[in-house]
Amino acid sequence: MPILHAALSGFLLGASLIIAIGAQNAFILRQGLLRRHVFVLCLICALADAVLIALGVGGLGTLIAAVPALIKAVTIFGALFLGAYSLIAFRRAMHAEVMKAAEGNGASLGAAVAACLAFTFLNPHVYLDTVVLLGSLSAQFQGWARLAYGAGAALASFVWFFALGYGARLLQPIFARPAAWRVLDVLIGVVMAALAISLVASLF
């Protein structure tokens, strides 16, 4: 029972941290609607979370918390990347011809993977949530229970990203119209811009 309790605690906390409107989720949602490289991108996001959670549970969270310059550097690069992607999303919203999922338009696998990795590792909140927060809270468990806690948190990431990526196609009838893609890209642009501004503000 202690192991099951630890796994459930990790799953629920992990889910509460990743189920939110953010850059990574917005990217996976759009790729899911386009049905482009969904499995690979969802796997990358889930595995990245699993690795970071494992590092946090293993004690790296304490080290990162002690090096604020590292988080600051990631914050700066993350803000620049999100700002640039925001402009791309707004530009994309102005060109209806690139928004039709039926045409199979989208980034190549290499470009999509590169963007996915950037959304994942240039986001300082990912380290604060997975490595620092989840890692520090794992201290309440010992031995196998601690491993179960980390496994539960990692499982939440796998469930969420694959559900988001493949569940997006249920919205396909709505996005059969270019106008819907325009609205989505405007929203993505707003989210990315807001996140970039919040990251810059956090530096001051």
d(CA 185, CA 28): 13
Decide: 99 and 182 in contact? Cβ < 8 Å. Answer: yes
Residue 67: count other Cβ atoms within 10 Å of its Cβ: 10
CB atoms within 10 A of CB 98: 15
pLDDT at 69: 77
Give the whole-angstrom CA distance, residue 142 versus residue 176: 51
Instruction: Assess contact for 189 and 93: CB atoms under 8 A.
Output: yes
How far apart (Å, rounded) are the C-alpha atoms in residues 95 and 188? 15
Q: Flag residues of the chain having pLDDT under 70.
A: 1, 20-21, 61-66, 96-107
Beta carbons within 8 Å of 122's beta carbon, 6+ residues apart: 74, 77, 78, 81, 82
Tokens of 119: 């959304």
Tokens of 19: 């189920």
Q: What is the DSSP letter of 131?
A: I
Residues 6+ positions from 108 with CB-CB distance below 8 Å:
none
**Residue 99: strand, helix, or coil:** coil
Give pLDDT, residue 98.
Answer: 43
Mean pLDDT of the chain: 82
Specify the pLDDT at position 62: 62
Please give the pLDDT value at position 25: 86
- Give the whole-angstrom CA distance, residue 42 versus residue 136: 26
Angle (deg, nearest 10), helices 23-34 and 144-167: 50
Measured CA to CA, the distance from residue 95 to residue 88 in angstroms comes to 11
How close are the terminal C-alpha atoms of the chain, in Å? 45
Query: How far apart are alpha carbons 41 and 116 in whole angstroms?
Result: 7
- pTM score over 0.85: no
Q: What is the residue whose two structure tokens read 């520090």?
A: 136
